[in-house]
Amino acid sequence: MRLLFLMFIAVPILEMVILIKVGGLIGAIPTIAMVVLTATVGIWLLKLEGLATLRRVQEKMAAGQLPETELLEGIMLIVGGALLLTPGFVTDGFGFVCLIPVLRRPFARWLINRVFTMKNGASMFHASGGSFEGSFQSKTDSAFHQSTTIINGEFNDESGQTPANPTNSIPDGKEKS
């Protein structure tokens, strides 16, 4: 908590010092233009990368896999977009690390391997081998589809009993009138 509080104080002070020094070197208008340019490029990059990451999440979910890296990348994109909208060059640097895929993906994998891995070696994200269980499991991997054989055919009921019509029954088992 102290570190977070210290960062909220130190980062704005550092940003102001750097903005003043850059403004003294190249002038106020070019400095403001650079800040506006990084924010504009950041918004464009956030939209582009956000849509690409969303597509990858959907592809992995459709394949029955847990999109652990993509979910963390999505969080990094949100943080990166917020940092790029914040005026300053230090926050812009960290924002671009979160938005540029070549920098973001290795950092996301490192975070998953280092930060989100429990002491016993299992990941918080994929303790069961990297795939969803239950209703999210792929239909082709389902035990039902692997162990069931379906045989098409016709039959005649010779028992003399009238079978119940399944279209006339309701879920509690009572017949419709």
pLDDT tens digit sequence for 161-176: 766 655 554 555 555 5
Token duo for residue 151: 């045989």
Residue 42 is part of which domain span?
21-127
Give 116 or 26, the one with higher predicted confidence: 26
Q: If you search the block for the tokens 């990166």, which residue do you land on?
A: 80
Please report whether residue 14 resides in a domain.
Answer: no
- In single-letter form, the type of residue at position 27 comes to G
Q: Note whether residue 154 is domain-resident.
A: no
Decide if 113 is inside a domain.
yes
Q: Which amino acid is at 157?
A: D
Chain mean pLDDT for the chain: 78
CB 52 within 8 A of CB 92: no
Q: How many domains does the chain have?
A: 1
Note whether residue 76 is domain-resident. yes
Residues 108/73, Cβ–Cβ less than 8 Å: yes
Distances (CA, A) of 72 to 68, 81, 104, 114, 134: 6, 14, 10, 13, 23
**Average pLDDT over every residue of 84-91:** 89
Q: Enter the pTM of the model.
A: 0.61
